Amino acid sequence: MLIANKKRKENIAEYLLYMWQIEDLIRANGCDIEQIKSNIIDRYDVDDKTRSEITDWYENLVKMMELEGVKQRGHLQINKNVIIRLNDFHNALLDSAKFPEYRAEYYKTLPFIVELRAKSGNDPAGEIETCFNALYGTLMLRLNHKDLSDGTKEAIAQISRLLARLSALYLKDEQKPIIDNEEEIV
């Protein structure tokens, strides 16, 4: 909760990847709040009030995962909503003449996105979600000490640049809208 709140304010891409990791941590603990308390929450060096807030946060996530049927796999609707907002913002940036640097970064990334989508078969993920899936998959490979090919490293570096630019522009837009009214995000 503490890290999620900080990341949400500073970098939406890092926030989303963190939240996906939290979903997996909850699954790894069997969606059991007692296991989550002993394996995760008890490791925080915080006061009792903060520990109680963190526990409530995890309990709410577990309940949402149960209600939304994502205890085994998939993502919470709150996280899907972030992807939807980012995808809409991405499209608005591409449609705007004010962001040629973003458009250029996107076109450098597009061949990698196309390749990833072709490899994923029937996965209906949009372009931005495909980018996040690639980053998260790479994170999991690295955590498991798996080697990455040079091609994968190149693709992930380019995808990271695109998402970093998207995140920075998203943060600016949250502080003060940067898309003109006639270019408004739908």
Q: Which two tokens stand for residue 14?
A: 């890092």
pLDDT of residue 186: 41
Q: What is the pTM of this model?
A: 0.89
Q: pLDDT tens digits for 37-75?
A: 999 999 999 999 999 999 999 999 999 999 999 999 999
Whether the Cβ atoms of residue 138 and residue 156 lie closer than 8 Å to each other: yes
Q: Which two tokens stand for residue 103?
A: 């458009």
Task: Tell whether 51 is covered by a domain.
Answer: yes
Predicted confidence (pLDDT) at residue 130 exceeds the cutoff of 50: yes
Task: Tell whether 72 is covered by a domain.
Answer: no
Predicted confidence (pLDDT) at residue 172 exceeds the cutoff of 90: yes
Q: pLDDT tens digits for 94-108?
A: 999 999 999 999 999
Q: Containing domain of residue 141, as a range?
A: 77-183
In a shared domain, residues 26 and 87: no
In a shared domain, residues 48 and 129: no
Domain count, the chain: 2
